[in-house]
Structure 1
Amino acid sequence: MGSRVHRGSCLCGKVSHSVSGSPILSAYCHCTLCQSLNSAAFIHTLHFPSSVFKWTHSEPHEALLESFSVPTRPWKTRWRCKNCGCTVASYNSKADKWSVWGHQLEKDSDGKTKGWAVLQPTAHIFYETRAQDVGDSLGKWTGYEGLSDRIG
């Protein structure tokens, strides 16, 4: 039996992607960059090796995609749909991995993310810059889980 495939898409559905297997990292990110890019207090980010990421919308893929980088992270290229503007993934050239966002992945008939047992977050990262406190049992870290100071 092969690795589970997780499918995601933008808001309008014109841009789609898939990743397979278990993420390298699954966390709620509270960094100020994620807050600004998503206009949210935090996001569910999932990191996967580049070998398991692929675009699944019609080719040529770039016809529906626009890429951009921010000056503070030029090694991270973000991709958004040209139609709805939704950012759907980012590629980190330093780490050779892709990031996707949990709430853009396929849902079941009850509105729950498919494959949640594998995808659920294990921590809150960059928690020092949080916009709101979160009272759950997940560890809170100043940076990446296990690679920074735990603060809660």
Structure 2
Amino acid sequence: MKGSCFCGSVTYALSQPPVLAAYCHCTLCQRLTGCPFVHTVHFEHDAFRWTHSEPHDAALDSFSLPIKPWKTRWRCKTCGVCVAGHNTKTGRWSVWGGTFERDEEGKIESWDSIKPTTHIFYGTRTLDVDDELGKWEGYADKSNRLG
């Protein structure tokens, strides 16, 4: 699986299937994206690698928020798109689904591997989603199920 920022200056590849693919409704994701929820996909540490020209940091800005200092996010210096995050508590990388490669019709190429299987942090949702996926207060199977 591969992906990039909007302008293509920052690219990445993933070598293993995700450990989590969900729609996240947390207030942090809402505020970082300006959207009611995001498609977040989490991978083990050794599954992720940058593939754009080295030095990789030349194309990237990194930032951490005081509310979650253990999570560092990287965004493209050219187009500003947040491409990936790394969580030092879990050792995992996360990417937003919209950054994955797409086919000629605009559909995500690896959709069957990364399609969301649940809604997380649904208690802070800004709108109801009527689908068959489980809805959780926090992480799936680690918090109260809301629906």
Same fold (TM over 0.5): yes
Alignment of 1:82-121 (within 5 A): 82-121=77-116
Q: Find the aligned partners of 1:13 and 1:112 in 2 and give their Cα distance.
A: 17
Q: CA deviation at 1:7?
A: 0.6
Match of 1:77 among 72, 75, 89: 72
Query: Percent identity of the aligned residues?
Result: 56
SS class of match (2:46): helix
Give the letter aligned to residue 83 of structure 1.
Answer: T
Q: Find the aligned partners of 2:103 and 2:78 in 1 and give their Cα distance.
A: 25
Match of 2:36 among 32, 41, 54: 41
CA RMSD of the aligned region, Å? 0.7
SS class of match (1:128): helix
Alignment of 1:1-150 (within 5 A): 6-150=1-145
Q: CA deviation at 1:21?
A: 2.2
Runs of 4+ in 1 over 6 A off after TM superposition: none
Q: CA deviation at 1:110?
A: 2.2
Gaps of 5+ in 2: none
Q: Find the aligned partners of 2:47 and 2:17 in 1 and give their Cα distance.
A: 10
Gaps of 5+ in 1: 1-5
Q: TM-score of the superposition, structure 1-length normalised?
A: 0.95
Q: Find the aligned partners of 1:109 and 1:146 in 2 and give their Cα distance.
A: 37
